[in-house]
Amino acid sequence: MNIMERHASMMTRIFTISLMIAAVLTTIIIIGIETFNVGHAQLLTPQEKAQFCNPNNPKLKFVNSTESKICGIPTTSTNATNATTTPSSILAPSIIKATP
């Protein structure tokens, strides 16, 4: 085996080992991310949860999905429309033209 063949063989081994290390590290990172996905509700003490979920808490005027899960209340709709708004009050009178 000449020097070039040994060098190529060693480079192939180094490349293979590098790929194996990258695959193992990727697997560890993916597993770590999935196991780290712990809900915030599990980190609250019962006293903190009671204070946070109190209906008089001003922070609960808008309820997102996390707060909904923690407190067991429905989320606040972000696209709620105002019931008093009518199409004629949205458009300026100069835009609305009568057809001749």
Is the pLDDT confidence value at 91 over 60?
Answer: no
Q: Give the distance from CA 91 to its chain's centroid.
A: 37
Q: What distance in Å separates the CA atoms of residue 69 and residue 23, rounded to the nearest whole number?
A: 36
pLDDT of the residue at 61: 80
The more confident residue out of 50 and 21 is: 21
pTM of the predicted protein model: 0.36
SS (HEC) of 37-84:
CCCHHHHCCHHHHHHHCCCCCHHHHCCCHHHHHHHCCCCCCCCCCCCC
Supply the DSSP symbol for 94: T
Q: Are 70 and 52 in contact (CB under 8 A)?
A: yes
Domain-wise residue ranges, the chain: 1-37, 39-77
pLDDT in tens, 75-88: 887 665 444 444 44
Among the listed residues 24, 71, 73, the one whose alpha carbon sits nearest the alpha carbon of residue 49: 71
